[in-house]
Structure 1
Amino acid sequence: MRDPFPLMYFAAGFGTRMGALTATLPKPLVKVAGLALIDHARRVAAAAGLRHEVVNLHYLGEQIATHLEKSGVILSWERDEILDTGGGLKAALPLLGQGPVLTLNTDAIWTGSNPLVQLMLAWDGDRMDQLFLLLPAHRARSASGRSDFVMDDQGRVDWAKGRDGYLYLGAQIIHPRLLIEAERKFSLHAPWTRAMAAGRAFGVLHMGDWCDVGHPGGIAEAEALLREAGEWPDV
């Protein structure tokens, strides 16, 4: 496995699907099994040996900044407006460098093999500009059976477009050369589409389970998952 990649946590969102829970609390600080969601993500990063961590902040960002004080995590502020996933990542590049970057959503729980280690082991910069962590859609908890991508026998991915396929688990490696949008605010969908069109977007299957914690019901689902896997955090 190559030297650890820099890691970007996405934590700027409004968390509207959480309803009243995020009226005064940013979603990354919502607790699952007694631990804030962003701390679950940081445990994954620590177990993968990652130390270069950046987080983007907007909604109630001061609370997250206070929570992470003395953690060593570098803050990438989006004070004027939220920049979406692509814009947020592009704005943080001076803090991350120009090479491939790991990103991790802060509204999910993973069990089993470390998601970031799996991505780093599967990365091949000669063939890839994009690598997604995936799970067969029918196996994903709290995801309503939707599919994001299909994958061929070489591991290349494309949009599912209604076809049965795989769910993106909020963990990826992306090369910054995909982020060519002229505008400041944009999602990652266009860069992903470019990588797919060039045959340089791939997927790796997660060896474990996953749960979306973007809505209130996901908290109990995630806690059940951790309990079943014997991975309840010692907090």
Structure 2
Amino acid sequence: MPDAVMLFAAGFGTRMGALTADRPKPLIEVAGRPLLDHALALTEGLGTRVVNAHYHAEQIRAHLVGTDIAVSVETPEILDTGGGLRHARPLLGPGPVFTLNTDAVWTGPNPLDTLRAEWDPARMDALLLCQPAERATGRAGPGDFTRAPDGQLIRGGPLVYTGAQILRTDRLDEIDETAFSLNLLWTRLAAEGRLFGTLHSGGWCDVGHPEGIAAAEAMLDV
């Protein structure tokens, strides 16, 4: 069972506009707490926690001083989700890991607990936590996936990826690029019948844009 988590915090946060002119998106506050701290609260109890950083990496480092959380700095270039995760593997260890985006807030069950309960490494190389598009607060547009009766995911459909998953990181070695999105690996896993999904039963809000802050605080009822 995974006991390590990678939290993605390296992006430029361009959709946040002026809010990220002088700070990274994970340090923007929602309900009085930085987004990064909302995400970290979900990961308490795991043996290994790693946060990646690139844009204003020094602020991420300073924020985590005095904790047991490792920081994987990507320099000189940002590596995207797939490249960033592979870069952090020496810190995470060899087994499957949780990954968690830091630009969302949640209500209801801990998303990592939901993933843990459904993880079956005999059948899966990745298990993605999804949400029906009509219940995805702060996010417009179509969904990302359709979930088959056995849990397999295929591209396109009514489900939105929430930014939480369990993934076998050794499969990243199959990608030649240095900087790449995890979408590239998911496409391969889906073709092999190794990409699965499960559903979050609580609330989820995308806070990747300024309007998401108020939407998240309304969802949290603060």
TM-score bracket, normalised by the shorter chain, equals over 0.9
- Using the size of structure 2 for normalisation, the TM-score is 0.97
Residue 220 (structure 2) pairs with residue 220 (structure 1): no
Map of 1:160-199 to 2, 5 A cutoff?
160=156, 164-179=157-172, 180-199=174-193
Q: What CA RMSD, in Å, does the superposition of the two structures yield over aligned residues?
A: 1.0
Q: SS where residue 45 of structure 1 aligns?
A: coil
User: Aligned equivalents of 2:47 and 2:215: distance in 1?
Assistant: 29
How many residues are paired up?
221
Would you say 1:13 and 2:11 are equivalent positions?
yes
Work out the CA distance in 2 between the residues paired with 1:186 and 1:5.
24
1:124 counterpart letter in structure 2? D
Over 4 Å off, 4+ runs = none
Question: 2 CA distance for matches of 1:202 and 1:118?
Answer: 13
Normalising by structure 1, report the TM-score.
Answer: 0.92
Identity of aligned residues (%): 55
Of the three residues 31, 35, 41, the one matched with 1:43 is 41
- Local SS of the residue matching 2:213: helix
Q: Distance in 1 between matches of 2:94 and 2:158?
A: 32
Structure 2 counterpart of 1:142, from 138, 142, 145:
138
Tell me by how many angstroms 1:207 deviates: 1.4
SS at match of 2:52: strand
Does the Cα contact within 8 Å between 1:138 and 1:145 map onto a contact in 2?
no
AA of the residue aligned to 1:149 = F
Residue 201 of structure 1: how far off its partner (Å)? 0.7
- Note the 1:29-108 alignment, pairs <5 A: 29-46=27-44, 49-108=45-104
1:146 Cα deviation after fit: 1.9
Structure 1 residue runs of 5 or longer lacking an equivalent are none
Deviation at 1:183, TM superposition (A): 2.0
Q: Distance in 1 between matches of 2:142 and 2:57?
A: 31
Alpha-carbon deviation of 1:143? 1.0
